[in-house]
Amino acid sequence: MQAAARRPRTNHLDLAQRILDVARQRGFEAGAHLPEQQFASLCNVSRTPVRAALRLLSEKGVVRWEAASGYRLAIDLAAQATMTADLPVAEEDELAEKILRDRSARRLEQTVTVGALMRRYSAERKTVLKSLKKLTEENLLDRAPGQSWLFRRTPDDPEAQGESYEFRLLLEPAAIQTPGFRLDGTRAAALRQGMEALLALPDAAFDTREFQRLDIEFHSMIADGCANRFITDALSDHLRLRRLPGVYAGVNVFRLKQSLREHLTILNHLESRQFEVAADLLRVHLRLSRNQRPQAASRGAPALFGMISRPD
């Protein structure tokens, strides 16, 4: 009997995704050289795990190896808005995603135990513990007494979503207006390419998962640009919750495309250093997203986006 293929190590899978994220943020195009030492420095690791992560990407056709120069990007990450690396998933990562899906669907209580999860998913204790550790590191779980873990409250019901938007309305515009705000130009350019490519797709081909990635990346860019580390940390922790299943449920393609256009308008003013205008537009954008009603597009506030053209 043939042995099952060994799953890649979780840290190599995570690093492979980080390499893709860095390449996308820095606007790397197809054929771009991917120096091991550069990515080791950017990701704060040694060259050995970087080499393993690049091998994983090579197996999936995302990068290619050339004897003369090393690894090169084999695809255009920005142009292919719906591209995923289709990386294999480590067992504990797969279980962590199942746990999150079941919690979002209310199939799990707010408090869970190792034993109950082992029985529910027919998983080994070490796998469950690694999954819980991963979720705890991502600030999605808190350790409770004994062998229990407590899910943090997530914006997956109308009341929590409202509170989430109120929190973001307080902090995100403030992040832009804080003295010392800096926009990462390379990251912004890559985001613009991705958003424009997704907007160009017909509604039937619209990729909600790609929208989620771009949405989180856009708002994370604003958080990271803030010169106040406490605002950055608070927003970054909160934005991690938006990657959970169900956060974008019930929002139609019309509103998602409208949201992308709002992102692009805000980005125009960030790039032109018109931070006050960008902060005002961000408040309007967050209020519209909180309402999540496409009919709101004709009710006053969204006209602000149409009235303000791209700065020269």
Compute the distance between CA of residue 219 and CA of residue 214 in angstroms, rounded to an integer. 9
DSSP 296: G
pLDDT tens digits, 96-150: 888 988 887 788 888 999 999 999 999 999 989 988 988 887 778 888 887 789 9
CB-based contacts of 214, cutoff 8 Å, min separation 6: 81, 191, 194, 195, 198, 260, 263
Question: What domains appear along the chain, each with residue ranges and CATH number?
Answer: 10-73 (1.10.10.10), 91-151 (1.10.10.10), 158-290 (1.20.120.530)
Flag whether the pTM goes above 0.85.
Answer: no
Residue type, 9: R
pLDDT at residue 306, rounded to an integer: 57
Tokens of 137: 């590191």
Measure CA of the first residue to CA of the last residue in the chain; give whole Å: 67
Measured from the Cβ of residue 127, the count of other Cβ atoms closer than 10 Å reads: 18
pLDDT along the chain (312 residues), means of 10: 45 78 80 87 82 86 86 76 52 84 84 93 90 84 85 73 90 96 89 91 88 91 94 89 64 89 97 96 93 47 56 62
pLDDT at residue 83, rounded to an integer: 45
pLDDT at residue 2, rounded to an integer: 40
pLDDT at residue 245, rounded to an integer: 60
Q: What 3-state class would DSSP assign to 180?
A: coil
The three-point CA angle 188-37-239 to 5° equals 35
Compute the distance between CA of residue 29 and CA of residue 26 in angstroms, rounded to an integer. 9
pLDDT at residue 275, rounded to an integer: 96
CB-based contacts of 38, cutoff 8 Å, min separation 6: none
